[in-house]
Amino acid sequence: MATEYISRAWKIYKKNYLSFIASELVMGLIPGLLFFLGFMVFFVSVLPSVDWSLIINTADEAILRQYFTQLFRNPNFLGSVMVGFLGMAVFVIIGFIVALYLSIGQVGMAYESLGGKTKLRTLFNVSGRLGFRWVLTGLLWLLIILISIIPVI
């Protein structure tokens, strides 16, 4: 009985593997691009405040320790770190939400593939119809988990 299901799943996979590979690439690239943009926001906000020539050309550990101690006591630098971190956090959160939004589309693709051939367009169609509910369900689960952790903290 199990071999029947495995052989049926293998036949379905062979018909639809390109669509599923493309959906994995889309689901990796779009949130990955948002994560990358978030990290770039952070680094762009921090990089102008750092003296790179001192860091690269100095081998003395005491000088570097003194430089970084003074740098992290500078309120302007800490402000730029906080702005960069908040900007990065916004992009990372949006990336997670987009990944969650698109993940229901893969479920729709798997369902459609049971009846025959599926296309990448199904990922976006199902995500458009059910993605918002899927995101709200994920956020509800996150809220339930956070509430259940509160007594432990």
User: What would the pLDDT profile of 49-77 be if each residue is shown by its tens digit?
Assistant: 888 888 888 888 888 899 889 988 988 88
pLDDT at 47 over 90: no
User: Rounded CA gap, 127 and 139, in Å?
Assistant: 16
Assign 82 a pLDDT band (cuts: 50, 70, 90): very high
User: What would the pLDDT profile of 115-139 be if each residue is shown by its tens digit?
Assistant: 888 888 998 999 999 989 999 999 9
Sign of CA dihedral 13, 14, 15, 21: positive
Which distant-in-sequence residues (6+ apart) come within 8 Å of 126 by Cβ? 104, 105, 107, 108, 109
Angle value at C-alpha 124, between 122 and 127, nearest 5 degrees: 105
pLDDT at 48 over 90: no
User: How much is the mean pLDDT over the chain?
Assistant: 89
